[in-house]
Every structure is written in C-alpha cells, then in structure tokens.
Amino acid sequence: MGSRREDQIWARAGENENAVGNLVLHLIGNTGQWIVSAVGGTDDIRHRDEGFNARGGVSKAELKPRLAARIAEVTAVIASVNDSRLAEQAHV
C-alpha cells in the first residue's frame, strides 16, 4: 500500500470532484493540446478523459518529472513564437 502522502494525491472528497493527481494530469494534457500542439504545430495526441478518469496508478515521483517536462516543452514553444505566428489563428 502507498504512503499517506501518495494516497493524498488521489484522494477525493466526493466522486464528482477531482484529486490533485487528476488536476496535474489535466494540466499536462491541456497545455500540450493548446500550446505544444495548437501553437507549436505538433500532432494532438491528448486523451482528455484519461486524466479525469484516473484513480491512481501514477505516483508523485512520476507526476513531477512529467509536469516539468511539459513546462519545458511549453516554454520552448512560447520562446519560438514569432510575430507572424502570434497573428495567426490556432485551431485546437
């Protein structure tokens, strides 16, 4: 069984609420879809429901580097955007 802190990542007060783990997965997926894919021009491979349907299975030790990697991707895309790209309409 996981540690209390690990369990808290996936704790929900009710079935209609999201755990911290769900929100982190959503943030990783959302920024990938909207910034890395739509603005950066890569394929959108997001599976949105998986982030919200998860009830565990991803540890804090796995979530942290995944989020850090996504932030690095987002930062690179934003840094590469030029003025003409800013004027374009992005499709998500």
pLDDT tens per residue across span 25-74? 999 999 999 999 999 988 888 888 888 889 988 999 999 999 999 999 99
Tokens, residue 3: 């540690």
* pTM of this structure: 0.84
Token representation of residue 61 = 């030790």
Cα separation, 86 vs 66, whole angstroms: 27
**pLDDT the model gives residue 77:** 95
